[in-house]
Copies of this chain bind each other. A is one copy, B any other.
Amino acid sequence: MIDARARLLLVSNSTLHGHGYLDHAAKAIPAFLGDRRRVLFVPWALKDHAGYAAKASERLAAMGIGLDSIHSAADPVRAIGLAEAFFVGGGNTFRLLKALQETGALQAIRRRVLSGVPYIGSSAGSNVAAPTIRTTNDMPIVQPVSFGALGLVPFQINPHYLDPDPGSKHMGETREERLVQFLEENEVPVVGLREGAWLRVEGGSVTLEGTTGARIFRHGEAPVETNPGDRLDPLVL
């Protein structure tokens, strides 16, 4: 079940090969925001908050969207309370989650999204919309209080989902092998979201958009391929 008021755009990646920052989502983002024209940006997944906010601000300005960054707010929780919409940027998921937990932003953002404030996440920002960060690809460079995240959707996301490379000589686990290990220990479904794909969550329903599709992993079942335009509700809710 997803709260019917929750509206989320969960993007696999910020930059698609051969394109500029957020180019592949340049139509989807303003369309999703509708008449809301200002986002509160969360840059905490990267180290350089000011640089990251400047880059995002410039890109969103070109879409006609204004940006305030939470790193320059005197009171982050108050800034969240006033936000028209959220944009949580990619980077390291552990670093992002730790900051969300330590500032109280985690509960504050969750509360507002469940009351209808739109949420855009990219990469790490999509990971933290899930119940936990247990399906991130990132290195655990810092230790959050727990792996518990926003829980705005009842399934996990694996951004930058990568199909196995049959020619590889590298013996580390493939992405699919890693997600199978996740399902050995957990029962929550996982959306393996390829670069170029995103999920639109609205009215309690989940639609796959973008160009590249997603692979759905469920406990005790074979993975399922899904295509742009598909409603994922029966697979993940």
A interface residues with partner B (beta carbon < 8 Å): 13-18, 47, 91-92, 95, 132-143, 146-147, 160, 162, 169-173, 178-179, 181-182, 184-186, 195
Of chain B, the residue at the smallest CB distance from A123 is B172
Q: Are A170 and B195 in contact (CB under 8 A)?
A: yes
Q: What chain B residues lie within 8 Å of A171 (beta carbons)?
A: 13-17, 160, 195
Q: Contacts A17-B169, A169-B17, A171-B15: A143 and B139 contacting too (C-beta < 8 A)?
A: no
Which of the residues B16, B92, B143 comes within 8 Å of A147, measured between beta carbons?
B143
Each complex incorporates copies of this chain amounting to: 2
Of chain B, the residue at the smallest CB distance from A196 is B171
Least CB distance from A54 to B in Å reads 18
Least CB distance from A122 to B in Å reads 11
Q: Contacts A160-B172, A171-B15, A195-B170: A184 and B47 contacting too (C-beta < 8 A)?
A: yes
Q: Contacts A162-B170, A170-B162, A172-B160: A181 and B13 contacting too (C-beta < 8 A)?
A: no
Q: What chain B residues lie within 8 Å of A15 (beta carbons)?
A: 171
Which of the residues B141, B172, B184, B195 comes within 8 Å of A134, measured between beta carbons?
B141
Of chain B, the residue at the smallest CB distance from A179 is B139
Q: What chain B residues lie within 8 Å of A138 (beta carbons)?
A: 173, 178
Q: What chain B residues lie within 8 Å of A147 (beta carbons)?
A: 140, 143
